[in-house]
Structure 1
Amino acid sequence: MKKQLPRILAGSALVLLSLLYAAGLLPLRFLHQLELWSYDHRLTMTMPETRDDRIVIVDIDEKSLAEVGRWPWSRNVVARMVDQLFDRYQVAVVGFDVVFAEPDTSSGIRQLEQLARGPLRKNEAFRRELARVRDTLDYDALLASRFRNRPVVLGYYFVGEAQGARTAGVLPAPAISRERATAAVRGIAGKHGYGANIPVLQKAAGLGGHFNPDPDHDGVTRRVPMLQEYKGSYYESLSLAVLRAMFGLPELLPGTPPGAPDVLEWLQVADLRIPVDGRASALIPYRGSQGSFPYISAADILKGRVKKEQLEGAIVLVGTTAPGLMDLRSTPVSAVYAGVEIHATMIAGILDQTIRHAPGYARGAELATLALGGLVLSLLLPFLGPLASLGVTVTVLLVAGGVNWLAWRSGLVLPLASQMVLFPVLYAFNASYGFLVESRSRRQITGLFGQYVPPEIVGVMSRDPEHFTMEPESREMTVLFTDVVGFTGISEKLTPKELAQFMNEYLSAMTAIIYEYGGTVDKYIGDAIMAFWGAPLHDPDHALHAVQAATAMRRRMASLSREMAERGYPDLQIGVGINSGPMRVGNMGSSYRVAYTVMGDAVNLASRLEGLTRQYGIWLIAGQETKNRINGFAWRELDLVRVKGKDQPVAIFEPCGDEAALEKEYLNDITAFNEMVHAYRLQQWDQAEGMLQHLAAGRPDRGLYALYRDRIRQYRLKPPATSWDGVCTFTIK
Structure 2
Amino acid sequence: MRSQPWRPQRYATTAVGFLAALLAFILLDAPMVQRLEAPTLDWRFQLRGPIAPGPDVVLILIDEPSLEALGGWPPSRFDLARAVERLAAAEARLIVFDLLFATSSNSDEEGRADAALAAAIAEAGNVTLGYAFTFGPEMLTRLEDSNRPPDGTALQRYRRSPQAISPLPHANGTLLPPRSFSGAAASLGHMSVLLAPDGALRSEATVVAFEGTLYPSLTLQAARQFHRLPRSELTADVGQSISLGDRRLAVDSRMRLPVNFYGPAGSFPSYSLFALLNGAVPEAALRDKAVIVGSTAAAAVPVFVTPYDPALPSVAYTATVLDNLLLGRSLVRPEWLRGLDILAAGLGAALAYGAARRLHPLAVPLALLVPGTLWTALAYLAFVQWHYWLALAVPLSLMALAAGFGALMRSQAEQRRREAVARERQNLSRYFSPAVAERLAAKSEPYSLTGTQSATVVFIDIVGFTGICEALPSERTIELLRGFHSRVERAVFGHGGTLDKYLGDGALAVFGVPDPLPGEAACALAAAAELQTSIAAWSDELVAEGLPRLKTAIGIHHGPVIVGDIGGESRFEFTVLGDSVNVASRLEGLTRQLQVSIIASETTIQRAREQAGTAGGNIPLGFHRHGDVTLRGRETPLSVWVWRPAEESRVATRRAAV
- TM bracket (short chain): 0.5 to 0.7
Give CA deviations for 1:411-433 in whole Å, capped at 9, x if unaligned.
32221112222223433455477
Whichever residue aligns with residue 40 of structure 2, its letter is: S
**Offset at residue 330 of structure 1 (A):** 0.8
1:462-611, aligned counterparts within 5 Å? none
1:604-619, aligned counterparts within 5 Å? none
**Offset at residue 290 of structure 1 (A):** 1.5
Give CA deviations for 1:656-702 in whole Å, capped at 9, x if unaligned.
xxxxxxxxxxxxxxxxxxxxxxxxxxxxxxxxxxxxxxxxxxxxxxx
Q: For residue 325 of structure 1, give the secondary structure of its aligned residue in structure 2.
A: coil
**Offset at residue 221 of structure 1 (A):** 0.7
Q: For residue 71 of structure 1, give the secondary structure of its aligned residue in structure 2.
A: coil
Alpha-carbon spacing, 1:243–1:263, altered in 2? closer, same or farther (3 Å):
closer
Partner residue of 2:275 out of 300, 322, 326: 300
In the superposition, the TM-score normalised over structure 2's length comes to 0.55
Q: For residue 145 of structure 1, give the secondary structure of its aligned residue in structure 2.
A: helix
Partner residue of 1:200 out of 155, 174, 180: 180
Q: Look up the match of 1:272.
A: 247
Q: Distance in 1 between matches of 2:42 and 2:309?
A: 11
Give CA deviations for 1:293-350 in whole Å, capped at 9, x if unaligned.
1121112222222222222222111111111113211112211101111111112112
Is 1:336 equivalent to 2:311 in the alignment?
Answer: yes
Give CA deviations for 1:222-278 in whole Å, capped at 9, x if unaligned.
11112222112222211111122233342455778xxxxx66433222343333222
CA contact (8 A) 1:158 1:194 kept: yes
- Segments of structure 2 that go 5 or more residues without pairing to the other structure are 416-658
Q: Look up the match of 2:392.
A: 416
Q: How many pairs are equivalent?
A: 405
Greater Rg, structure 1 or structure 2? 2
1:595-674, aligned counterparts within 5 Å? none
**Mean alpha-carbon deviation: is it higher for 203-212 or for 246-255?**
246-255
CA contact (8 A) 2:301 2:314 kept: no
Q: Look up the match of 1:281.
A: 256
Alpha-carbon spacing, 1:90–1:412, altered in 2? closer, same or farther (3 Å):
same
Q: Distance in 2 between matches of 1:3 and 1:51?
A: 55
Is 1:181 equivalent to 2:158 in the alignment?
Answer: yes
CA contact (8 A) 1:250 1:269 kept: no
Is 1:401 equivalent to 2:379 in the alignment?
Answer: no
Q: Look up the match of 1:160.
A: 135
Partner residue of 2:217 out of 227, 237, 243: 237
Q: Distance in 1 between matches of 2:373 and 2:213?
A: 46
**Offset at residue 79 of structure 1 (A):** 1.3
Alpha-carbon spacing, 1:18–1:324, altered in 2? closer, same or farther (3 Å):
farther
**Offset at residue 165 of structure 1 (A):** 4.2
1:6-155, aligned counterparts within 5 Å? 16=19, 19-24=22-27, 27=30, 29=32, 31-47=33-49, 49-87=51-89, 89-108=90-109, 138-149=112-123, 150-155=125-130
**Mean alpha-carbon deviation: is it higher for 290-299 or for 406-415?**
406-415
**Offset at residue 158 of structure 1 (A):** 0.9
Whichever residue aligns with residue 183 of structure 1, its letter is: R
Q: For residue 419 of structure 1, give the secondary structure of its aligned residue in structure 2.
A: helix
Q: Distance in 2 between matches of 1:156 and 1:301?
A: 25
- Segments of structure 1 that go 5 or more residues without pairing to the other structure are 110-136, 257-261, 440-733
Alpha-carbon spacing, 1:171–1:283, altered in 2? closer, same or farther (3 Å):
same
Q: For residue 404 of structure 1, give the secondary structure of its aligned residue in structure 2.
A: helix
CA contact (8 A) 1:55 1:348 kept: yes
Alpha-carbon spacing, 1:37–1:266, altered in 2? closer, same or farther (3 Å):
same
Q: Distance in 2 between matches of 1:249 and 1:152?
A: 14
CA contact (8 A) 1:210 1:237 kept: yes
Give CA deviations for 1:165-203 in whole Å, capped at 9, x if unaligned.
42675523345457x332267453421111010111111
Is 1:217 equivalent to 2:202 in the alignment?
Answer: no
Q: Distance in 1 between matches of 2:232 and 2:170?
A: 19
**Mean alpha-carbon deviation: is it higher for 4-13 or for 366-375?**
4-13
Q: Look up the match of 1:190.
A: 170
Q: Distance in 1 between matches of 2:218 and 2:241?
A: 17
Q: For residue 293 of structure 2, give the secondary structure of its aligned residue in structure 1.
A: strand
Is 1:347 equivalent to 2:315 in the alignment?
Answer: no
CA contact (8 A) 1:181 1:233 kept: no
RMSD value over aligned CA atoms? 3.6
Q: For residue 234 of structure 1, give the secondary structure of its aligned residue in structure 2.
A: strand
Is 1:291 equivalent to 2:266 in the alignment?
Answer: yes
**Offset at residue 164 of structure 1 (A):** 2.8
Q: Look up the match of 1:172.
A: 150
% identity of equivalent residues: 25
